[in-house]
Amino acid sequence: MRILVTGGAGFIGANFLNLLVPRHREHQFVNLDALTYAANPRSLDPVASLPNYAFERADLCDFSGLRAVFARHQPEVVVHFAAESHVDRSIAGPRAFVRTNVEGTFNLLEACRELWTPGQGLFHHVSTDEVFGSLGATGRFDEETRYDPSSPYSASKAASDHLVRAWHRTFGLPVRVSNCSNNYGPLQFPEKLIPLMILNLLERKPLPVYGQGLNVRDWLYVEDHCEAIWAIIGAGQNGRTYNIGGRSEQRNIDVVKQLCHLVAEETGTPEAELLGLICYVSDRPGHDLRYAIDSSRIEAELAWKPRESFASGLRKTVRWYLANRAWIDSVRTGEYRRWIEQNYGSR
């Protein structure tokens, strides 16, 4: 199969390619990525020279460039990861989110419709549980939960999900959608909670917890997410949605405390010194209280379940960041420092 992956230089896309390109030499993988601030070409070092891997720098919002890539590679499967993905950035500047997540997804759907005859091809859309909005203390999101997004990020992802389903119903495009909970693991850009806290811990910087740290996220190790997507591509049904989650709900403050414990253990630092770095800062506007996923559909229909526990995945993640200082240095550019100043300077 010829498989085109968008956003393959970002966190989840790179983990997906690093996992699957070496395992599936019978398939050709093309990584289409605009290389925004969130991308790091170094993340693809393990696959860059493999014969079944190719890279194309292109912006989803440039339709003629996109068509040229489609004409060159004639993909049979498209796995759509590319997006603007950080909620706080979507609050600071929503325009890029509407541009890439809505217009970019639209362009990609149109490129597929042009290339594929009706019923041909497969478009897998990678989305988030944040489209469902916030849960209270109980309940879980299933595939029938009503969309109710809170942030510009989640609203733009909701819009893209609707476009994908509309292209299926109206034009017969073979699509599958997955809505996944929060991912963590190697190669995650250190603007998101877990890598940001690990890096701050390593430098003994304050650990900025929004509000009271009582918001709950359902954490999934990134490779478990990638395996779920691969299972859906292999054996899912067209037009169907799959929720993917880790059955691993954690309050933010508890995640931060576990990270203090792990970094203390791994680096031989007194834990009390690291716990002393925790500071509570002003809350995110529109901050969803709780996410939790009911992934019984994918578990029952595709025999998928997460392999990693939160404890083992978090330890692996801490060890990865400790062992990969060069990767960290390569993403902490001037742009990164500007974002940290903008987001945390006045909190």
Binding site for ligand TYD (CB under 6 A): 87, 182, 192-193, 196, 208-210, 215, 217, 252, 284
Find how far residue 224's CA is from the centre of its chain.
12
Active site residue 153: yes
Beta carbon nearer to ligand TYD, 40 or 182: 182
Q: Which residues pair with 122 in a beta bridge?
A: 77
> Of 33, 59, 84, 129, which residue is the catalytic one?
129
Q: Which residues pair with 243 in a beta bridge?
A: 179
Reported as type and span, the H/E element at residue 64 is helix 63-73
**Beta carbon of residue 335, minimum distance to ligand NAD (angstroms, whole number):** 12
**Beta carbon of residue 204, minimum distance to ligand NAD (angstroms, whole number):** 26
39 contact choice in ligand NAD, ligand TYD, none (CB below 5 to 8 Å, kind-dependent): ligand NAD
Tokens of 204: 């003994």
**Which residue's Cβ lies closest to ligand NAD?**
10
Beta carbon nearer to ligand TYD, 4 or 228: 228
Active site residue 103: no
> Of 153, 184, 221, 321, which residue is the catalytic one?
153
DSSP class per residue in 135-161? B-SS--B-TTPPP---SHHHHHHHHHH
198 contact choice in ligand TYD, ligand NAD, none (CB below 5 to 8 Å, kind-dependent): none
Return d(Cα 274, Cα 262) in angstroms, integer. 10
**Beta carbon of residue 130, minimum distance to ligand TYD (angstroms, whole number):** 6
Burial of 180 (0-12, 13-18, 19+ CB in 10 A): buried
Active site residue 130: yes
Beta carbon nearer to ligand NAD, 147 or 280: 147
Beta carbon nearer to ligand TYD, 73 or 86: 86
Return d(Cα 125, Cα 223) in angstroms, integer. 17
The neighbour count for residue 174, using CB atoms within 10 Å, is 19
Strand, helix or coil for residue 20: helix
**Beta carbon of residue 7, minimum distance to ligand TYD (angstroms, whole number):** 16
DSSP class per residue in 269-332? --HHHHHTTEEEEPPPTT---B--B--HHHHHHH-----S-HHHHHHHHHHHHHH-HHHHHHH-
> Of 84, 130, 161, 191, which residue is the catalytic one?
130
Return d(Cα 70, Cα 227) in angstroms, integer. 25
100 contact choice in ligand NAD, ligand TYD, none (CB below 5 to 8 Å, kind-dependent): ligand NAD
Instruction: Considering only CA atoms, give the Rg of the chain.
Output: 20
**Beta carbon of residue 240, minimum distance to ligand NAD (angstroms, whole number):** 17
Residues in contact with ligand NAD by the rule CB under 6 A: 6-7, 9-13, 33-36, 38-39, 59-61, 81-85, 100, 104, 126-128, 157, 180, 182-183, 189
Beta carbon nearer to ligand TYD, 53 or 184: 184
Size (the chain), residues: 347
189 contact choice in ligand NAD, ligand TYD, none (CB below 5 to 8 Å, kind-dependent): ligand NAD
- Asked whether the beta carbons of 15 and 187 are under 8 A apart, the reply is yes
Beta carbon nearer to ligand NAD, 127 or 258: 127
217 contact choice in ligand TYD, ligand NAD, none (CB below 5 to 8 Å, kind-dependent): ligand TYD
Catalytic residues: 129-130, 153
